[in-house]
């Protein structure tokens, strides 16, 4: 029996677990710590995703064949290096490779060195210096980013000089993001439409997946503050076959070359957050070093190739032997969130209507836990309703039909997930 450890507690990890359970190997799954949705798939462990010593001990004593790291924090902390020192197979980049997400400054320098298209930028650690430079800016908006990991909250699109100075002060003076904000990246604002393309790599070859599109703003029509993602759909017609090839040629291929020349061991997932201009130019908004959430929930259901066989090939550095096959269907994920998210929200709300009736529908748990037999909310993004169908319109219809059957107090969701695809057809 193949024993697999999946690290993380969100919707991404639940989606990975569902995909792995389809494998012919029928692996035994462990989730650390998991959530109420992962429990039926395997065993939830009372080990946090960042408790590397405990995760290592569990893997060694329970014959774990392969560990899959969901979130970025343990990767940036160096969990891959720790596991590989003990000859344990693990999917993810080395600590050095994880700087692609852990340090925006490092990532920008790498992109500049290897001619990967991205916005022009400056780096500051001193508030007064940054303030003097920004005070002479005439073109807004600009983008202010905390250099390190800030749980997706360290980015400000400043529409005015005052907004930019407030964002700088939050990082460099008030230390809102602690060590993550001791340096800030000031970037030119890129105009266009965003898309996400994940890729598998074993440091020798890189194999991109289908293009998806996230919906980051809290409200319909992309209004209100940004969130971790309120829904996604896949594939997106924004990425034509020609654009897909351009992404491969100008982003993934030079990135792989960078890994080789910089002696970076990277056996895992690359997330390319893309900006597509009206002229069809492609730029990197950011790289992540793991699957993204909620795009994972719509990409993996369309993968026909056995996911476990892909992970095993990555671990063995034999990804070149794998052929990725994809369904022609479309998939949609509608995120159900707690009222107040992405700001303050309440937890502990009982969830009703979770019965699953169709094979083409998946209820992905993100911020849930079990309490005396009941499933209750425990996060900002609580559930993701995923529908797969022959057409995008049908997938949207099915996802919202199931959404209306589920409820918890102050539940919120966007009613327009996937609709922007019509712009690109």
* pLDDT tens per residue across span 218-234: 999 999 988 889 999 99
Measured between its terminal Cα atoms, the distance across the chain in Å is 46
pLDDT digits 0-9 by tens, 373-424: 889 999 999 999 999 999 999 999 999 999 999 999 999 999 999 999 998 8
Domain count, the chain: 3
DSSP one-letter code for 191: P
Percent of the chain with pLDDT over 90: 81
Pick the closest to residue 280 from 117, 157, 418, 141 (CA basis). Answer: 117
- pLDDT at residue 357, as a whole number: 64
Give mean pLDDT, residues 54-64. Answer: 97
Burial class (CB in 10 A: 0-12, 13-18, 19+), 304: exposed
Give mean pLDDT, residues 292-303. Answer: 97
Q: Which residues fall within 8 angstroms of residue 28, CB to CB, at 6 or more apart?
A: 1, 2, 3, 4, 42
Rounded CA separation 293/251 (Å): 21
User: Does 365 lie in the same domain as 303?
Assistant: yes
User: Does 420 lie in the same domain as 303?
Assistant: yes
- pLDDT at residue 164, as a whole number: 87
Pick the closest to residue 94 from 105, 110, 83 (CA basis). Answer: 83
Other residues' Cβ atoms within 10 Å of the Cβ of residue 361: 17
In a domain, 250, yes or no: yes
In a domain, 105, yes or no: no
- pLDDT at residue 261, as a whole number: 96
DSSP one-letter code for 317: T
Give mean pLDDT, residues 328-345. Answer: 96
In this predicted structure, the answer to whether residue 151 has a pLDDT above a threshold of 80 is no
Q: Which domain holds residue 8?
A: 3-93
User: Does 334 lie in the same domain as 208?
Assistant: yes
User: Does 293 lie in the same domain as 418?
Assistant: yes
Give mean pLDDT, residues 355-368. Answer: 87
- Domain with residue 55: its CATH number is 3.40.50.20
User: Does 226 lie in the same domain as 138?
Assistant: no
In a domain, 108, yes or no: no
Rounded CA separation 202/311 (Å): 9
User: Does 312 lie in the same domain as 244?
Assistant: yes
User: Does 377 lie in the same domain as 300?
Assistant: yes
CB 111 within 8 A of CB 99: no
In this predicted structure, the answer to whether residue 167 has a pLDDT above a threshold of 90 is no
In a domain, 99, yes or no: no
From 93, 108, 131, the end of a domain falls on 93
In this predicted structure, the answer to whether residue 169 has a pLDDT above a threshold of 90 is no
Give mean pLDDT, residues 199-215. Answer: 97
- pLDDT at residue 425, as a whole number: 77
In a domain, 103, yes or no: no
pLDDT digits 0-9 by tens, 298-334: 999 999 999 999 999 999 999 999 999 999 999 999 9
Other residues' Cβ atoms within 10 Å of the Cβ of residue 358: 11
User: Does 44 lie in the same domain as 59?
Assistant: yes
In a domain, 257, yes or no: yes
In this predicted structure, the answer to whether residue 152 has a pLDDT above a threshold of 70 is no
In this predicted structure, the answer to whether residue 27 has a pLDDT above a threshold of 70 is yes
In a domain, 70, yes or no: yes
In a domain, 45, yes or no: yes
Least confident interval from 32-41, 78-87, 149-158, 284-293: 149-158
Q: Is the dihedral of CA 177, 182, 188, 194 positive or negative?
A: negative
DSSP one-letter code for 26: -
User: Does 50 lie in the same domain as 169?
Assistant: no
Pick the closest to residue 79 from 421, 149, 69 (CA basis). Answer: 69
User: Does 313 lie in the same domain as 226?
Assistant: yes
User: Does 173 lie in the same domain as 59?
Assistant: no
From 154, 188, 222, the end of a domain falls on 188
User: Does 233 lie in the same domain as 215?
Assistant: yes
């Amino acid at each position: 029996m193949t024993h697999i450890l999946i690290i993380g507690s969100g919707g991404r990890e639940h989606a990975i677990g569902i995909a792995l359970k389809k494998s012919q190997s029928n692996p035994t799954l462990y989730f650390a710590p998991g959530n109420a949705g992962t429990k039926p798939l395997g065993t939830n462990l009372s080990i946090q995703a960042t408790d590397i010593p405990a995760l290592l001990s569990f893997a060694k004593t329970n014959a774990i064949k392969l560990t899959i790291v969901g979130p970025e924090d343990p990767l940036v902390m160096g969990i891959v290096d720790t596991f590989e020192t003990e000859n344990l197979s693990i999917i993810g980049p080395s600590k050095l490779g994880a700087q692609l997400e852990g340090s925006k400054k490092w990532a920008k320098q790498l992109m500049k060195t290897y001619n990967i298209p991205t916005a022009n930028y400056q780096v500051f650690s001193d508030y007064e210096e940054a303030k003097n430079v920004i005070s002479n800016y005439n073109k807004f908006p600009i983008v202010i980013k905390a250099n390190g990991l800030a749980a997706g909250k360290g980015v400000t699109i400043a529409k005015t000089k005052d907004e930019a100075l407030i964002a700088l002060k939050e990082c460099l003076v008030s230390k809102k993001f602690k060590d993550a904000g001791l340096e800030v990246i000031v970037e030119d604002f890129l105009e266009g439409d965003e898309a996400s393309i994940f890729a598998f790599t074993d440091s020798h070859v890189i194999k991109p997946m289908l293009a998806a599109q996230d919906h980051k703003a809290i409200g319909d029509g992309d209004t209100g503050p940004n969130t971790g993602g309120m829904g996604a759909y896949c594939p997106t017609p924004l990425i034509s076959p020609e654009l897909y090839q351009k992404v491969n040629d100008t982003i993934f291929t030079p990135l792989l070359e960078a890994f080789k020349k910089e002696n970076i061991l990277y056996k895992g997932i690359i997330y390319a957050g893309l900006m597509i201009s009206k002229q069809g130019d492609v730029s990197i908004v950011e790289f992540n070093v793991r699957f993204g959430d909620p795009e994972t929930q719509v990409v993996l259901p369309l993968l026909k190739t056995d996911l476990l066989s892909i992970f095993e090939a990555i671990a063995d550095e034999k990804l070149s032997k794998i052929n990725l096959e994809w369904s022609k269907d479309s998939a949609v994920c509608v995120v159900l969130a707690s009222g107040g998210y992405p700001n303050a929200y309440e937890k502990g709300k009982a969830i009703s209507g979770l019965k699953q009736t169709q094979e083409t529908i998946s209820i992905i748990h993100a911020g849930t836990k079990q309490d005396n037999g009941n499933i209750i909310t425990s996060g900002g993004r609580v559930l993701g309703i995923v529908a797969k169908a022959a057409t995008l319109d049908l997938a949207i219809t099915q996802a919202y039909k199931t959404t209306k059957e589920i409820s918890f107090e102050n539940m919120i969701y966007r009613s327009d997930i996937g609709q922007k695809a019509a712009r690109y057809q």
